[in-house]
Chain A
Amino acid sequence: MANIFPRWTNWLPIKILVCVAVVAASVISGMAYYFTPKYTRVGYQPTQPVAFDHSLHVNQLGMDCRYCHTGVEKSSHSNVPGTQTCMNCHTQIKSLSPKLAPIRDSWKTGQPVPWVRIHKAPDYVYFNHSVHVNRGVSCVACHGQVNHMEVVYHAKPHSMGWCLECHRAPQNHLRPLDQITNLDWKPPAGTTQRELGEKFVHDWNVNPPVSCSGCHR
């Protein structure tokens, strides 16, 4: 009786195993990379109704974040400015610029400008801006260097693990309260972020919540 299995089948189990291993490895590594907020969120850069340039307003004109985002120190929510805030200046400056037409339309009609949302926490996450900016966490820690962005994009992953990195070791991110909105701030020469941070953690009694109820209610 001839052999049922030809000779080449001797290698078949090994080949199958190797194939399966390669496929599994690529699926797992693919998911680990593509299915995380690091990939799904970071880099999101939608087109806004008005091409508002943060780098121009902050770096060239020297405006503070809080001129527009007025609620950030008082409320959980950091508000996007109303049309009126834009019109404070743009009735005088660039008052006829075609780029600003949606703003002028909004001002005329009373219909708000539909800014496209970039940073969004899930509904079951209760993030509070005021407690962060009043206790030494700068805007840059979560939003990146918005002052250098011509078009704003999602700079950090905003995943739960990423939040907890800082909540477990706040000293790596704290800075003096007068430097919160200075996104280019570096620890002064001679000190390190860690030294400063540890001092703030001690002096200000900083103990961020790391249990569920801190953010989920």
Chain B
Amino acid sequence: MKRIIEHPSAPANGRTYWRSLGEYARTPDFEEWLHREFPAGAAEWDNDPLSRRSFLRLMGASLALAGLGLSGCRRPEAHLVPFTQTPEWVISGKNMSFATAQPRRRGAVPLLATTFDGRPTKMEGNPLHPASQGASDNHAQASVLDLYDPARRRHLTRSGKKAEVSELEAEINRIRAEAAGNGGASLAILADETLSPTRERLRAELLRQFPQCTWAVYEPLAPGRDLEAAAAAFGTGTEVRPDLSAAKTILAVDCDFLGSDEGDISDTRGFASGRRIRKPGDSSNRLYVAEPRFSLTGTMADHRLRLRAGAVGSFLLELARQVRSLRPNSELNVVLSKSPDLPLPQGVDPAWIRECAADLVAQGNRSLVLVGRRQPAAVQALGYAINAALGNVGTALRVQPRLSAPSTTIQSLSEKIRSNSIRTLILLGGDPVYNAPAELGWANLLASVPNTFHLSPVFNATSAMSTWFIPGTHYLEAWGDALAADGSTLCIQPMIQPLWAGESQLEFLTRWIGQPKPMGPALVRETFSLRTKLGAEKLEQEWNDFVREGFLTNSAGSTSRALNSSGVAALLPNIDSPASSEAGSLEAVFTHSGAVDDGRYANNGWLQEWPDPMTKLTWDNAILLSSKTADSLGLKNEIINGILVADMVKATLGTRTVEAPVVVAPGHADFAVSLPVGYGQDFLGPVAKGAGFDAYALRTTDSDYIAQGLRLERTGKTRQLAVTQEHQVMEGRDLVREAALSEFNQNPGWAKKVGMDAHIPKNQTFYPSPKLTGEHQWAMVVDLSTCTGCNACVTACTAENNIPVVGKDQVMKGREMHWIRVDRYYTGEPEEPEAVSQPVACMQCENAPCETVCPVNATVHNEEGLNVMAYNRCIGTRYCANNCPYKVRRFNFFDYNQRPLDKLYWGPLAPKGTEETLKLQKNPNVTVRMRGVMEKCTFCVQRIEEAKINARVKARDSDNIRIPSGSLQTACQQACPADAIVFGDLKDEQSEVSQLRSLPQNYSLLEYLNVRPRLTYLGRIRNPNPAMPGARTSYVPAHGHEESHGHENSGENQNSEEAHK
């Protein structure tokens, strides 16, 4: 008898989880969408005159014709090309790892680069470095693709024409001679922030030769107000760095410290370490968040308050007063003595602040108040003062010497250019024409300087306007050094010779100070020896360690500083009263983009296709606003066939306007909008072209973060946006399970008995279970309590598994290829929702439904419990995807690796082949899949097999072929900064994954289907404070039955570990 599984819906008395506003409102469009296997048009050729049937007929005929010629029968001659002289250490076919680092504006990321035959293919965090401990983030993971970007320029150009290096040399010598006359007064440098000690050394040398020269540093998203605040609060030359692992109660005010802009990898790691709850009685930290837009940090919040960015100052003043009243403090008295008396922001419950302050005070010096680094300096300084009053300075808040050296700002440089005193401008990286404050008019400024030199790894808007464009190196191509956020010095070791005739910033600077081009690491090594001051012999040893391990620990360490309360008090009168915001005059906040950051990664296909963790938007940015704001402006979003059709608006700020789509973001503060920057760069290359709008066009010096008085007007046009949030919907089936800490303490096994899972009858499968006889049994557990939803795993998986980029058009059809997706569920009311992130990859079901429907046995089970795909067997029926309850299978509708994405529909006429450089990135241990093939997460089977082979090679004639537990990591697990993903062997009872699977809060998705997933989840445990106003203390749905009823059978088929142990 056919067994029909009626998926039970979530109990009526439970909380509902929703992924989009369409799902929340249950619009007819959404309902129809839900019942389709693929989005409309994804499974048919509706826009093609050639029907599928006639296509097959034609194909058959051409195949027959091709057969007549038998042209393909001769074996093509291939060659094996060995080295003439084999380099040391190279074993053909083996990969090697080297320590290196990716420079960033707020501290470089220590990395390990994996290279195959000399080409870097994958980045990992450096496991030796104490801050990251092997974790990385999406930008580090994706940076390797930038190296191979085909849009990188290959030649030096002068006024757009190819030039020779000798011409550049002559020009530089001429300008040097000219500048020597006036002490360099006519010379200016505008650099991006790399935190490189060697660059600082060369800068000092340049300034020695040309004392009058101007050195300016510009980072669009790091205006340095945190440094200003630290200087006021703790003295000049300091900066502040949080230690999240030391904090028990955290308040983040407009500070997305779990995101990639405000935070460092170590912040996520520290925060997650305080949330790892394993058994009843374990403690958890508590996170309060007050923020304008729903950020990653907001999803982890136990209490979240919607607060406009402009109201943060008055919020913090009230908080400071509450802290003072709870714990009288003389310093805080001084600080608050001159503070303005500001009203509380609209809609903020004073009780929220009071109870939050009480909780912070109750933790003594184990609390932390974090304020966004682009907030005004006065507001941030007040934040430091509150931390000092709570006693956190030196524990959860470290004061350390400032990493970046003081420089001129872009504003004063612009002033000098305007007064015609600058004749030569050297631009080291950056793109001021695109991202400088709009009122400066950099396009005109740049054109007014006679000699401009732009050194940049990418050709951007500034390059196009500069006299000279010098192709720069990627960080994997040249020696360098940089400071990490914790102050340690990282070695940037090149992995490959510059692909094109590139030059690093350091090499380019040596031209300007008249030194010969450095040989290899000579410059970096010289800096190292000057900094370490070691003798020749010791130096050699230490230098080798530095290069091998990749870092030199910060010897300066953190300094304990007392708060300069009068310094803070002097700033406080600058705190603005929260401007009243209304539909006609909105508050705008310029945010970074989680995908392309400030725009530097805009030509990176992996990042363009990376779904934003909150909006799930790909290939675009949009103005984010709350539904109340949207309603009052008459703006709307519609989901049509899974495509987000967004109203376009004309956004006006002062005299500047841009046209942009709006996206209604649940949980956004009312009458405030967020404008992510970094898009709308048509210069960068084919990937960036057409993606999003340029929010920098509205941004000025005074409003580089918060701007008041933005007007949005409907234009009547709409824009189709590619969102992944409604793809692969799993629809109200208790997929995420949450409990408050108190509920968990009483009922640790709650997650196993939510909804249907309390009533599972003894279940049987029609098909024989696979024989699980392997030496290992692989499984994965994801801890939802620590997963922040940052999507680093998605990029890591893309890099490891050769996952193709499919383009916006294909994403709109639901054909994105990511093997792991991070589902983001909202719960509660759309105005004040909470959110949970849940990474979903192939569950590697033991009773896998996909296997039984494959007509050609292309997907089968192996003896170690993996559901494996044999691509060369797959004929593309897609039955497996149809039968997968988790919707984790991905189909190659086109030859994404072989055809240009804008010509996919040209069929056989499309130009074939891919850019040579992009092939270099591919992982040689994973098949590059072709059209017509199904694929899915493999638990990184190539890593498993490699580990098994290594164990056997080591065993030789002994019988110990087991892989030691913990020696094998999947790509997603390795990248995860929160260590939320644990992978390992179930046969080893001591392995972490076995331990986690036996925890009471471990549950599997759709347990009642009896597919026995190998990927399970630890239920999310929140830690709400019952004293907070409107606190939600119960997360477990009420059950509605007596505990004694109906549970006899539960759990009978839950874990199959016993079966194969």
* Chain A residues near B (Cβ < 8 Å): 40, 44, 46, 70-71, 73-77, 79-84, 106-107, 110-117, 120, 122-124, 126, 128, 130-131, 134-136, 177, 200, 203-205, 207, 209, 211-214, 216-217
29 chain-A/chain-B pairs, Cβ below 8 angstroms: A40-B75, A70-B91, A71-B93, A73-B953, A74-B91, A76-B93, A77-B92, A79-B92, A84-B84, A106-B84, A112-B83, A114-B79, A115-B81, A115-B82, A116-B80, A117-B77, A123-B928, A126-B925, A130-B949, A203-B959, A204-B957, A204-B959, A205-B955, A205-B961, A209-B862, A212-B873, A216-B870, A216-B871, A217-B927
Chain A residue at minimal CB-CB distance from B866: A213
- Report the bound CA distance from A111 to B959 in whole Å: 45
Known contacts A74-B94, A204-B955, A204-B958; is A83 also within 8 Å of B862 by CB? no
Let me know if B957 and A203 touch, CB within 8 A: yes
- Report the bound CA distance from A131 to B951 in whole Å: 9
| Inter-chain contacts of B729 with A (CB < 8 A) | none
Q: Please classify the interface of chain B as helix (H, G, I), strand (E, B), loop, or mixed, using the class held by over half of its residues.
A: loop
B909-942 to A contact mask, C-beta < 8 Å, 1/0: 0000000000000000111100000000010011
Let me know if A216 and B83 touch, CB within 8 A: no
- Which 8 A-B pairs rank lowest in CB-CB distance, beginning with the nearest? A77-B93, A211-B862, A205-B959, A75-B93, A83-B84, A213-B868, A117-B78, A212-B870
- Report the bound CA distance from A212 to B775 in whole Å: 16
Known contacts A117-B79, A123-B927; is A110 also within 8 Å of B958 by CB? no
- Report the bound CA distance from A76 to B949 in whole Å: 9
| Inter-chain contacts of B871 with A (CB < 8 A) | 124, 216
Assuming A76-B94, A83-B85, A112-B82, what are 11 further A-B pairs, CB within 8 angstroms?
A71-B94, A74-B94, A115-B82, A117-B79, A122-B872, A123-B928, A131-B949, A203-B959, A212-B873, A213-B938, A217-B926
Known contacts A116-B78, A205-B959, A213-B866; is A128 also within 8 Å of B949 by CB? yes
- Report the bound CA distance from A66 to B445 in whole Å: 66
Asked whether any CB of chain A lies closer than 8 Å to the CB of B863, the reply is: yes
- Report the bound CA distance from A204 to B85 in whole Å: 37
- Report the bound CA distance from A81 to B775 in whole Å: 36
Asked whether any CB of chain A lies closer than 8 Å to the CB of B6, the reply is: no
- Report the bound CA distance from A209 to B956 in whole Å: 17
| Inter-chain contacts of A74 with B (CB < 8 A) | 91, 94, 953
Let me know if B77 and A71 touch, CB within 8 A: no
| Inter-chain contacts of A205 with B (CB < 8 A) | 955, 959-961
- Report the bound CA distance from A23 to B20 in whole Å: 64
- Report the bound CA distance from A209 to B944 in whole Å: 13
| Inter-chain contacts of B861 with A (CB < 8 A) | 211
Let me know if B81 and A114 touch, CB within 8 A: yes
Asked whether any CB of chain A lies closer than 8 Å to the CB of B1043, the reply is: no
Known contacts A111-B84, A131-B952; is A214 also within 8 Å of B77 by CB? no
Interface size of B in residues (CB-CB distance below 8 Å): 46
Q: Please classify the interface of chain A as helix (H, G, I), strand (E, B), loop, or mixed, using the class held by over half of its residues.
A: loop
- Report the bound CA distance from A106 to B84 in whole Å: 7
- Report the bound CA distance from A76 to B95 in whole Å: 11
- Report the bound CA distance from A217 to B942 in whole Å: 6
Asked whether any CB of chain A lies closer than 8 Å to the CB of B860, the reply is: yes
Which residues in chain B, 948-972, are within 8 Å of chain A measured between CB atoms? 949, 952-953, 955-961
| Inter-chain contacts of B960 with A (CB < 8 A) | 205
Interface residue from A82, A120, A136 paired with B78 (Cβ < 8 Å): A120
- Report the bound CA distance from A196 to B85 in whole Å: 41
- Report the bound CA distance from A4 to B956 in whole Å: 81
* Chain B residues near A (Cβ < 8 Å): 75, 77-86, 91-94, 775, 860-863, 866, 868-873, 925-928, 938, 941-942, 944-945, 949, 952-953, 955-961
| Inter-chain contacts of A211 with B (CB < 8 A) | 860-863, 868
Let me know if B75 and A44 touch, CB within 8 A: yes
| Inter-chain contacts of A82 with B (CB < 8 A) | 82-86
Let me know if A124 and B84 touch, CB within 8 A: no
| Inter-chain contacts of B957 with A (CB < 8 A) | 136, 177, 200, 203-204
Let me know if B868 and A79 touch, CB within 8 A: no
| Inter-chain contacts of B94 with A (CB < 8 A) | 71, 74-76
- Report the bound CA distance from A132 to B83 in whole Å: 25
Which residue, of B871, B927, B928, B953, has the highest number of chain A Cβ atoms within 10 A? B953
- Report the bound CA distance from A44 to B863 in whole Å: 36
CB distance from B536 to the nearest CB of A (A): 33
| Inter-chain contacts of B79 with A (CB < 8 A) | 114-117
| Inter-chain contacts of B942 with A (CB < 8 A) | 126, 217
Interface residue from B75, B82, B872, B949 paired with A81 (Cβ < 8 Å): B82
Chain B residue at minimal CB-CB distance from A203: B959
Let me know if A207 and B775 touch, CB within 8 A: yes
Chain A residue at minimal CB-CB distance from B92: A79
Chain A residue at minimal CB-CB distance from B952: A131
| Inter-chain contacts of A120 with B (CB < 8 A) | 78
- Report the bound CA distance from A211 to B857 in whole Å: 11
CB distance from B858 to the nearest CB of A (A): 8
Interface residue from B84, B92, B941, B961 paired with A217 (Cβ < 8 Å): B941
CB distance from B800 to the nearest CB of A (A): 11
Let me know if B956 and A113 touch, CB within 8 A: no
| Inter-chain contacts of B81 with A (CB < 8 A) | 112-115
Let me know if B927 and A75 touch, CB within 8 A: no
Chain B residue at minimal CB-CB distance from A122: B872
Chain A residue at minimal CB-CB distance from B962: A205
CB distance from B562 to the nearest CB of A (A): 58
| Inter-chain contacts of A203 with B (CB < 8 A) | 957, 959
Interface residue from B775, B862, B953 paired with A213 (Cβ < 8 Å): B862
Let me know if B925 and A115 touch, CB within 8 A: no
Chain B residue at minimal CB-CB distance from A177: B957
- Report the bound CA distance from A207 to B959 in whole Å: 10
| Inter-chain contacts of A128 with B (CB < 8 A) | 949
Which residue, of B91, B942, B955, has the highest number of chain A Cβ atoms within 10 A? B91
| Inter-chain contacts of A70 with B (CB < 8 A) | 91
Let me know if A84 and B860 touch, CB within 8 A: no
| Inter-chain contacts of A71 with B (CB < 8 A) | 91-94
Chain B residue at minimal CB-CB distance from A81: B82
Chain B residue at minimal CB-CB distance from A215: B945
CB distance from B875 to the nearest CB of A (A): 15
- Report the bound CA distance from A74 to B91 in whole Å: 8
| Inter-chain contacts of A116 with B (CB < 8 A) | 77-80
- Report the bound CA distance from A83 to B82 in whole Å: 8
Chain B residue at minimal CB-CB distance from A112: B81
| Inter-chain contacts of B928 with A (CB < 8 A) | 123
Let me know if B84 and A110 touch, CB within 8 A: yes
| Inter-chain contacts of B959 with A (CB < 8 A) | 203-205
Let me know if A135 and B952 touch, CB within 8 A: yes
Let me know if A217 and B945 touch, CB within 8 A: yes
Which residue, of A112, A115, A211, has the highest number of chain B Cβ atoms within 10 A? A211
| Inter-chain contacts of A117 with B (CB < 8 A) | 77-80
Interface residue from B862, B926, B941, B953 paired with A131 (Cβ < 8 Å): B953
CB distance from B574 to the nearest CB of A (A): 60
- Report the bound CA distance from A111 to B873 in whole Å: 40
| Inter-chain contacts of A106 with B (CB < 8 A) | 84
CB distance from A177 to the nearest CB of B (A): 5
CB distance from A41 to the nearest CB of B (A): 8
| Inter-chain contacts of B958 with A (CB < 8 A) | 204
- Report the bound CA distance from A214 to B84 in whole Å: 33
| Inter-chain contacts of A213 with B (CB < 8 A) | 862, 866, 868, 938, 941, 944-945
| Inter-chain contacts of A111 with B (CB < 8 A) | 84
Interface residue from A122, A177, A212 paired with B868 (Cβ < 8 Å): A212
- Report the bound CA distance from A84 to B88 in whole Å: 13
- Report the bound CA distance from A204 to B945 in whole Å: 18
Chain A residue at minimal CB-CB distance from B867: A213
Known contacts A46-B77, A79-B92; is A135 also within 8 Å of B84 by CB? no
| Inter-chain contacts of A115 with B (CB < 8 A) | 79-82
| Inter-chain contacts of B961 with A (CB < 8 A) | 205
| Inter-chain contacts of B956 with A (CB < 8 A) | 134-135, 177, 204
Let me know if B84 and A107 touch, CB within 8 A: yes
- Report the bound CA distance from A79 to B944 in whole Å: 24
- Report the bound CA distance from A82 to B378 in whole Å: 66
